[in-house]
Amino acid sequence: MTTKANVENLATLSRLLLSSEEKAALTQEVDAILTYVEKLNELDTSNVDPARQVHGVKNVYRKDRLKASQLRDRLLELAPDREGDFIRVPLVINQDGE
């Protein structure tokens, strides 16, 4: 079961600032989701291999060749905010200078 500390940790990792009301609400929501998923654990899967992949394909490579994208300018247009050719985002520096 989720505790409030888990939600706080998730918020920190996701770089989200949550109000205490939001935290309380999210704790309930995440709890409900986990309870639902928890049902899966009732099945005995000890003889089932983990399904990391379903199509059985392996060894897909490309040669080390340049294939310049024609979409560069359109990709940059998708950015919510720009400064010249840079994408501008809210300041992500923290107290560590990282």
Partner 1 sequence: MDYESVIGLEVHVQLSTESKIFSGASSHVTDKPNEHVDPVTFGLPGTLPVLNEKVVEFALRLGLALNCDIRRFNRFARKHYFYPDLPKGYQISQYEEPICGHGRLQFRDGEVTRTVGITRIHMEEDAGKSVHSAERQCSLLDLNRAGVPLLEVVSEPDIRSAREAAAYLRALRQLVRYLELSDGNMEEGSLRCDANVSLRPKGEMKFGTRTEIKNLNSFRFVERAIEYEVARQVAILKSGEPIVQETRLFDSESGTTRSMRSKEESADYRYFPDPDLPPLQIEESWINAVRAKLPTLPQEIFQSLIDDYGLSEYDAAVISAEHEYVRFFLEAQEVCKNPKATCNWITSEIFGALKQHGEQFSELRFSPLQLGQLIALIDQDVISGKIAKTVFEELYASGGSPNEIIERRGLKQITDDSAIREMVKEALRSNPEQVAQFREGNAKLLGFFVGQVMKLSKGSANPKLVNDILLEELKS
Asked if 88 is part of the footprint of partner 1 (rule: CB under 8 A), the reply reads: yes
Contact 7, 26 (CB under 8 A): yes
**Selected binder of partner 1 within 1, 5, 40, 92 (CB under 8 A):** 92
**Interface residues for partner 1 in 28-87 (CB under 8 A)?**
52-53, 55, 57-69, 71-72, 75-76, 78, 83-87
Take residue 93 and report the two structure tokens written for it.
């520096």
Instruction: Quote the crossing angle between the two packed helices 20-38 and 4-13, to the nearest 10°.
Output: 100
Contact 17, 49 (CB under 8 A): no
Which among 10-18, 21-29, 37-45 is the span making contact with partner 1, rule CB under 8 A?
Answer: 10-18
Contact 30, 2 (CB under 8 A): yes
Using CB under 8 A as the binding criterion, the count of chain residues that bind partner 1 stands at 42
Residues that bind partner 1 (CB under 8 A): 9, 12-15, 52-53, 55, 57-69, 71-72, 75-76, 78, 83-98
